[in-house]
Amino acid sequence: MAYRPVSGLAVGAAVVGGVSALALVSPFFWVLPLIGGVVALAALADVERVGAKKAGRLAALVGLTLALGFGAQAIAATVTARWIAAARAESAAEVWLTAIRTGRPEDARSMCGPEAQQAVEDLGSCATNEPDSHRCTGVGEEPGSWVVLVTLGRCELRLVLAPLVATQQGRTVERWLVTKCDVTRSGT
């Protein structure tokens, strides 16, 4: 068996595929799996080219597999984390709204940051026995915060909620706070 030089592109694909693991750290690095995939495809074409007597098909395939795997995992983890955080924000808003609707202002205030404390008093006139609606519309202005739009009786609310992470008895506990509440009253 004759010596075949190793394709430099194939080696590069394997390296960039491995470095694609950084995509799990930050969306800033999501470009690495894309680059790894392109280099791996170019390496496969280089190795398979007619007349090219180069080795490296396995390295190119490993690079392609790593790039695709890390890229898919990074995107899936980010989408899942966002979905979970949005669901938690909606749940926290529902607990807060239930405290207001059932006449428990102290419970509602305990879930508020300083800017939202006054909203608890202001919303007493909004609450009715009619069902309300709420939905998380996305991230807020502050990192980690989420916006939930609410219809509460005759009022439209724009709640901004954020998780407060603390350690209690050696365990990490996440507690959501209403950090801001903008109220718009509809016809009275």
**40 inside domain:** yes
**1 inside domain:** no
CA distance to 34, 54, 71, 75, 133, per residue, from 80 (Å) = 21, 42, 14, 8, 24
What pLDDT, on a 0 to 100 scale, did the predictor assign at position 46?
Answer: 92
Number of compact structural domains in the chain: 2
Q: What is the mean pLDDT of the chain?
A: 87
What pLDDT, on a 0 to 100 scale, did the predictor assign at position 129?
Answer: 58
pLDDT at 58 > cutoff 90: yes
pLDDT tens profile 70-117: 999 999 999 999 899 888 888 898 888 888 878 888 898 899 888 888
Mean pLDDT of 6-35: 95
Same domain, 53 and 141: no
Q: Does the CA dihedral 128-129-130-133 come out positive or negative?
A: positive
Q: Over pLDDT 70: what percentage of the chain?
A: 94
Mean pLDDT of 49-56: 85
- Which phi and psi (to 5°) does residue 115 adopt? -70, -25
Same domain, 103 and 180: yes
Amino acid letter at 164? L
pTM of the model: 0.76
| Banded model confidence at residue 8, pLDDT cuts 50, 70, 90 | very high
| Banded model confidence at residue 130, pLDDT cuts 50, 70, 90 | low
Gap between the Cα atoms of 5 and 91, Å rounded = 60
Same domain, 49 and 94: no
pLDDT at 182 > cutoff 90: no
Segments in the chain forming alpha helices (H): 8-19, 31-48, 57-101, 105-110, 117-122
What pLDDT, on a 0 to 100 scale, did the predictor assign at position 17?
Answer: 96
What pLDDT, on a 0 to 100 scale, did the predictor assign at position 187?
Answer: 58
Same domain, 105 and 70: no
Lowest mean pLDDT among 50-54, 90-94, 168-172, 178-182: 50-54
pLDDT at 61 > cutoff 60: yes
**3 inside domain:** no
Last residue of a domain, one of 81, 102, 132: 81
Hunting for tokens 């924000």 — which residue is that?
89
| Structural domain range at position 28 | 8-81
- Which phi and psi (to 5°) does residue 78 adopt? -65, -45
What pLDDT, on a 0 to 100 scale, did the predictor assign at position 76?
Answer: 96
| Numbers of helices and strands, H then E, in the chain | 5, 4
pLDDT at 124 > cutoff 80: no
DSSP state of 120: H
Last residue of a domain, one of 17, 47, 81: 81
Same domain, 12 and 24: yes
| Banded model confidence at residue 127, pLDDT cuts 50, 70, 90 | low
Task: Pick the closest to residue 39 from 22, 56, 21 (CA basis).
Answer: 56
CA distance to 23, 28, 66, 181, per residue, from 56 (Å) = 25, 29, 15, 60
Mean pLDDT of 153-163: 84
